């Protein structure tokens, strides 16, 4: 049976009705889950196994039957570990039905069905008793309910309920304890992700609205691979602080709480950002530790266990504060049942009150712009590229129209002397944010903001003027993959009748670039698992393969590649061009070719990104920002996500392996997407 799903197309802006199987959500959830990453996390698996064996031994030493409750069982791996360690019975709870079915299949394949019962419910709905889901309460609680922020997946309410209703008094827990750490730092790089700096524009200083500078920002945690932010990018203001611990073997409360750490400023500077991560003690003695600390905290970085399902967190203070060496500070962390946030007090301020309200954006800017977008707006080299391009095309009689979301280009055009400037804003919220900028800089009459779509624009909206300069970054909040920003091209096509003959389109064109890469670690998130810690989990691989085969063609995925080191195995190459001087064609754009191998390695997939030609001699890249060096090291733009097409099986470049890659790309203008196919060329 087929169903039709309405999907907003981020490239064309249209609503497409796509025929899907009834199992579409199931396939997509399985394909894009993080289970492969977790199963490949040997450090995590090893520490859990050691902790489970130790807990089973402690319960057996007391002469008790070992009954295990595994909440959030996923593939059932931890349950199988428990039974192998000597547990008498295990209840495995998994709320996501496809994963519960996968767990049951994996458990059966490993011959554990008699000792493991899979319960497809949320743990708070599980019952105990003769007619319940569990025949008796458990005395070992095994969970993997954690996210980068530790408690963001509802760990505290789940533990609270389990101790009240599902566990025996004096039970064991694996992990036994979690500890949250934090460090206050100054970092221009990280601070640029939450505040707009003043911008110099030909003698003018464009200031951010006061509301943006005073706003505490968006409440969602900023989770990143902090190992890829070098220690040179920040200066510690204080020591690494132990903020709080949670003992999972005892009753847990999900009530809001706060914890404060006092310390003396070790180096003067501006307190801006809190770096945070956590550790898991798998046993009461703390001898089995699974740490989320970034690689630069290790004496030997080679010992760092890479993982992507758990990363590190960055929290931004509501406002930056200047600190002097020797000053006493109090860093306070607050948490509700799902999230953390931080505040800072000096020695003369009153103690933090019991206000547990989460910070939230009051200026709307943090809702319109993502953190990478803040960084992009603060990138002075990028800004200078756009300013240089505008200077070369603007004339005193120029009538400009900007097409981007929440862009400052129309403000730049006005300051550079354009006669009239209009700007299309797809949302009322982004329109209000730009209005704040105009008002803060006394430019309200300089730019006319239009909350209207390109195809709805009329000559009356433009005051009967014809557009002489159509410009865009292009940036759109709905874009996921690099080519989704071609929405600018569709807008340019819709506006063709409003353009003056010979009108300038900036950027004038774009090109899609391609590079075969070997990942240092990212390959793990899509690699087959096969056997994990001696258990056959291949049914997961089969389910993932089914989900990939379900799609007519495999799709690229968006990733911030600056967080994931990789080596270039071919030269970067432009593989498809898009001419914005012309309207979107009706026929597909097809590109075929080959890329020779120039470095040996294991090809895990292909990186794809867009580059925009603003003028004949000014280009901005949304991918590589520096030439690839002799070793193949790649430096990626942190402001945009690049596309990654993962190979189902990596290609080895041995003596009899592949020597080049052939590509076949088709851009379908009717849907705005790119179908792609790659094959290895043998010697």
Q: For 412-456, give the secondary structure using H, E and C.
A: HHHHCCCCEEEEECCCHHHHHHHHHHHHHCCCCCCCEEECCCHHH
Return d(Cα 465, Cα 418) in angstroms, integer.
Answer: 13
Provide Rg for the chain, Cα atoms: 28
CB count, 10 Å around CB of 418?
A: 24
Active-site positions read 144, 153
Return d(Cα 406, Cα 413) in angstroms, integer.
Answer: 15
Backbone angles phi, psi at 233, to 5 degrees: -90, -5
> Which stretches of 85-176 are assigned E, i.e. beta strand?
89-93, 116-119, 138-143, 167-174
Provide the phi-psi class of 672: left if phi over 0, else alpha when psi is between -120 and 50, else beta. Answer: left
Q: Is 295 exposed, middle or buried (0-12, 13-18, 19+ CB in 10 A)?
A: middle
- Residue written as token pair 């497809």: 120
676 bridge partner residues:
665
Return d(Cα 209, Cα 595) in angstroms, integer.
Answer: 48
C-alpha dihedral over 133, 135, 137, 138, to 10 degrees? Answer: -90
If DSSP codes are grouped into helix, strand and coil, which group holds residue 410?
helix
Contact 622, 642 (CB under 8 A): yes
Return d(Cα 245, Cα 343) in angstroms, integer.
Answer: 18
DSSP one-letter code for 633:
B
DSSP one-letter code for 682:
P
In the chain, the N- to C-terminal Cα span, in Å, equals 45
State the DSSP string of 477-545.
TT--SGGGGGHHHHHHHHTGGGEEEEEEEES-EEEEEEEEEEESSGGGGGS---EETTEE-HHHHHHHH
């Amino acid at each position: 049976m087929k169903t039709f799903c309405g999907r907003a197309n981020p490239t064309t802006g249209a609503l497409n009705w796509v025929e899907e199987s009834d199992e579409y959500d199931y396939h997509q959830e399985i394909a894009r889950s993080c289970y492969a990453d977790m199963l490949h996390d040997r450090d995590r698996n090893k520490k859990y196994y050691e902790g489970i064996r130790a807990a089973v031994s402690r319960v057996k030493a007391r002469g008790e039957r070992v009954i295990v409750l595994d909440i959030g069982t996923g593939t059932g791996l931890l349950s199988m570990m428990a039974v192998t360690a000597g547990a008498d019975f295990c209840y495995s709870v998994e709320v996501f039905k496809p994963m519960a079915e996968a767990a049951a299949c994996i458990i059966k394949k490993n011959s554990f069905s008699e000792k493991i019962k899979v319960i497809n419910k949320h743990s708070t709905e599980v019952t105990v008793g003769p007619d319940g889901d569990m025949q008796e309460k458990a005395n070992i609680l095994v969970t993997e309910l954690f996210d980068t922020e530790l408690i963001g997946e509802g760990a505290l309410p789940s533990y609270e309920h389990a101790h009240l209703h599902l566990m025996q008094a004096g039970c064991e827990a694996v992990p036994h304890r979690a500890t949250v750490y934090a460090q206050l730092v100054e970092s221009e790089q990280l601070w640029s992700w939450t505040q707009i700096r003043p911008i110099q524009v030909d003698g003018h200083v464009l200031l951010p609205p006061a509301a943006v500078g005073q706003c505490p920002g968006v409440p969602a945690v900023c989770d990143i691979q902090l190992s890829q932010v070098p220690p040179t990018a920040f200066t510690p203001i204080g020591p690494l602080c132990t903020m709080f611990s949670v003992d999972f073997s005892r009753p847990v409360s999900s009530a809001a709480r706060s914890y404060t750490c006092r310390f003396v400023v070790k180096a003067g500077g501006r307190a801006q950002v809190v770096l945070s991560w956590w550790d898991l003690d798998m046993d009461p003695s703390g001898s089995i530790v699974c740490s989320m600390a970034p690689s630069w905290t290790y004496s030997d970085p080679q010992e760092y266990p890479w993982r992507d399902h758990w990363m590190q967190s960055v929290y931004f203070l509501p406002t930056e504060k200047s600190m002097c060496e020797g000053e006493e500070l109090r860093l306070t962390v607050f948490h509700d049942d799902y999230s953390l946030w931080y505040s800072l007090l000096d020695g003369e301020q009153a103690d933090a009150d019991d206000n547990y309200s989460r910070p939230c954006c009051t200026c709307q800017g943090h809702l319109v712009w993502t953190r990478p977008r803040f960084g992009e707006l603060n990138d002075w080299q990028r800004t200078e590229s756009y300013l240089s391009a505008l200077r070369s095309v603007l004339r005193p009689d120029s009538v400009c129209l900007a097409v981007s979301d929440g862009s400052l280009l129309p403000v730049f055009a006005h300051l550079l002397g354009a006669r009239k400037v209009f700007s299309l804003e797809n949302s009322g919220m982004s329109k209000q944010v730009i209005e704040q900028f105009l008002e803060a800089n006394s430019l309200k009459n300089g730019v006319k903001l239009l909350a209207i779509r390109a195809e709805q624009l009329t000559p009356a909206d433009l005051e009967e003027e014809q557009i002489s300069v159509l410009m865009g970054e292009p940036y759109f909040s709905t874009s996921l993959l690099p080519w989704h920003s071609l929405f600018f091209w569709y807008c340019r096509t819709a506006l063709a009748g409003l353009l003056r003959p010979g009108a300038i389109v900036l950027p004038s064109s774009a090109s899609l670039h391609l590079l075969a890469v070997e990942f240092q670690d990212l390959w793990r998130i899509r690699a087959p698992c096969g056997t994990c810690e001696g258990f056959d989990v291949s049914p997961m691989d089969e389910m993932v393969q089914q989900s990939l085969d379900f799609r007519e063609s495999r799709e690229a995925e968006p990733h911030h590649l600056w967080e994931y080191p990789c080596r270039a195995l071919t030269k970067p190459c432009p593989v498809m061009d898009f001419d914005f001087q012309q309207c979107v064609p009706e026929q597909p754009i097809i590109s075929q070719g080959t890329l020779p191998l120039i470095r040996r390695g294991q090809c895990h997939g292909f990186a794809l990104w867009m580059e925009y030609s603003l003028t004949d001699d000014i280009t901005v890249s949304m991918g590589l920002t520096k030439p690839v060096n002799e070793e193949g090291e790649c430096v990626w733009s942190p402001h945009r996500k690049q596309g990654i097409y993962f190979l189902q099986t990596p290609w080895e470049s041995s003596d009899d392996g592949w020597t080049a890659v052939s590509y076949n790309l088709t851009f379908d203008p009717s849907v705005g997407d790119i179908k792609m196919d790659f094959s290895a060329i043998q010697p």
